[in-house]
Amino acid sequence: MGKIYFENSIYTFEHIRQGLWKERDLYFHQALTFAQQWLLGQESFEIGTSGSTGKPKNIQIQRAHMKASALATKEYFRIEYSSKILCCLNTWMIAGKMMIVRGLEWDAEIYLIKPVANPLQEAWLPLDLAFAAMVPMQVQACLDQENSLNKLKQIENLIIGGAPSSGALIEELKANQINAFQTFGMTETVSHIALANISEEALLYKTLPGVEIGTDEQSRLWLKGPMTGFRTIQSNDIVDILNPGQFHWLGRADFVINSGGVKVYPEIVEDKIQGIVFEHFGSTNYFISALPDAKLGQKVILIVEGESPNVSFEGLTESMKRVVNRYHLPKEVIFLPKFVYTASGKIKRTETIKLLK
């Protein structure tokens, strides 16, 4: 029989089914209430979306689809029943809820941690975790602390989602030989539908068992599988499909820039210039966007969070020319004191750009 561990308490799945737990804080109550609903056979669940590309909203997700997603992940990683897994994500969102579902369906030992920056700092966590999910910010915090890094290295399978991992983070994971995977998915697809092994040369996404993919006339990915009830979901992600089960992610269609007839994918440029941005402006948040331009239609710009330092734009451009095609170079750098973020920490690009007006 599986169990949920929280701080100094242990609850069997039967305890949770019967509601035999003492009230603690909101996070604990929310997680165990959801677990109880699952164990009692509830058929649909209200899930909140992040709002990174639009207004946050609540949608209904079916039990059968969540169960299919958990099974597909188990098959992909060959997770054994009764394994130890870590849930350190917001259990109101799909990523956190699916960690609970996986644990319940895998009859696992679930170690429940509040979604803090460094979830591995808790001394009571075991070292032999078979599976864990984190956002990039959490992974970086674990890498930066020696004790947490040692624990991170011992996680058998780590999935990273919520936002793309930076090139620097990927290189650090490789250097420490951590078995990590970047996820691709959305709330509507019940968590991830594809995974890219961080250790590979380029992020090549491989679909979960049973998932079918294709693209529309704008190269935007569509998909269907057991976790969507085999209903086709149209995404707004531009991809390059290599074969029926593998693809490269290029970026969001919402953000593609057409500068003088040249398509610029901001996320790809951002990844390439990270080291240069940090060298000139320090470790700060930034993104590539565009402004209207009479000659080009749209001109590429770099938006940086923080105050403007005394940095030569010409020197910055010369550095970027080493890693970026000249047609993709930012024509201007703009500084904003503070970006707009979602509750899960993603930059809300559209809302942030409005601050320029």
Quick check: is 322 in a domain?
yes
Q: Is residue 186 part of a domain?
A: yes
Co-location of 306 and 181 in the same domain: no
Are 276 and 171 within one domain? no
Angle at 125 between CA 104 and CA 208, to 5 degrees: 45
CATH number for position 70? 3.40.50.12780
The torsion angle over the Cα atoms of residues 86, 112, 189 and 289, rounded to 10 degrees, is -80
Confidence band for 308, pLDDT divided at 50, 70 and 90 = confident
State the average pLDDT over residues 304-332: 91
Does the residue 350 lie in any domain? yes
Residues 204 and 322 in one domain: no
Give the span between the Cα atoms of 195 and 75, in whole angstroms. Answer: 13
Of 148, 175, 209, the position where a domain reaches its end is 209
* pLDDT at site 177: 96
Confidence of residue 164 (pLDDT cuts 50, 70, 90): confident
Query: In the predicted model, what is the mean pLDDT of the chain?
Result: 92
Asked if pLDDT for residue 51 goes beyond 70, the answer is no
CATH code of the domain covering residue 268: 3.30.300.30
**203 and 269 housed in the same domain:** no
Residue 219, in any domain of the structure:
no
Which domain range does residue 347 map to?
A: 256-354
In a shared domain, residues 178 and 29: yes
Q: Is residue 251 part of a domain?
A: no
Cα-trace Rg, the chain: 21
Average pLDDT over residues 61-70: 97
| Model confidence pLDDT, tens digit, residues 106-125 | 999 999 999 999 999 998 99
Encode pLDDT of 181-190 as tens digits: 999 998 889 9
Give a yes or no: residue 244 inside a domain.
no
User: Which pLDDT does position 168 carry in this prediction?
Assistant: 83
